Structures are given as structure tokens and as C-alpha cells.
Amino acid sequence: MDKETIWLAVGFLGQALFSARFLVQWIKSEKEKKSVFPIAFWYFSIGGGVTLLAYAVYRQDPVFILGQASGLLIYFRNLYFVIYERRQLNA
């Protein structure tokens, strides 16, 4: 397998992880009959975002890099809030 094919696979993997977050959120919301963002949503967001950022850096696409990097800041911050809130509830 050549380098281009490997990076294309990385890009598709990142997109699959990123898209999976919507499925996770949809299934959880359907179960609870309200809009819910489970913690897995943020993990898929981060996994997909990191993978897509790596792909964007490889492609040297500044628009794609900026979009993924700024999104990652938001995903990590939201995950922090979820973890912090859970710790407060369990304290």
C-alpha cells in the first residue's frame, strides 16, 4: 500500500469516527425521548477531529486545519465540563 492510499484511509477513518458521533447521539436521544449528548459523543468528536486534523495537516489545507483544530478545543472543553459535572455529582 502506498503513502497516498494510507492517508486516504486515515481521512476516511476520521470521517467515519466523526459521523459516528451523530449516530450515538441520535440513538441515546431516541431512548430518552429528548435531546441528549452522551459522553461517547465527545469521545467520537475528539477521535474524529484528531484523525481529520492529521489528515488536514498531511494535505496542508489551512482551512481544514483551522476548522478541525478549533473544533477540537470545543470538544475537549465540553468533555471537561461533562467529567467535572459527574465528579461533582459523585462527591
For 35-63, how does the pLDDT look when each residue is reduced to its tens digit (9 = 90+)?
999 999 999 999 999 999 999 999 999 99
Report the mean per-residue pLDDT for the chain: 95
Instruction: Calculate the dihedral angle through the C-alpha atoms of 52, 56, 62, 67, rounding to the nearest 10 degrees.
Output: 0
Task: Answer yes or no: are the C-beta atoms of 39 and 82 closer than 8 Å.
Answer: yes
Q: What's the pTM?
A: 0.90
- Counting Cα atoms < 13 Å in the Cβ hemisphere of 44 gives 17
Residue 26: its pLDDT value, please?
A: 97
pLDDT at 91 over 90: no
What's the rounded mean pLDDT across residues 25-43? 96
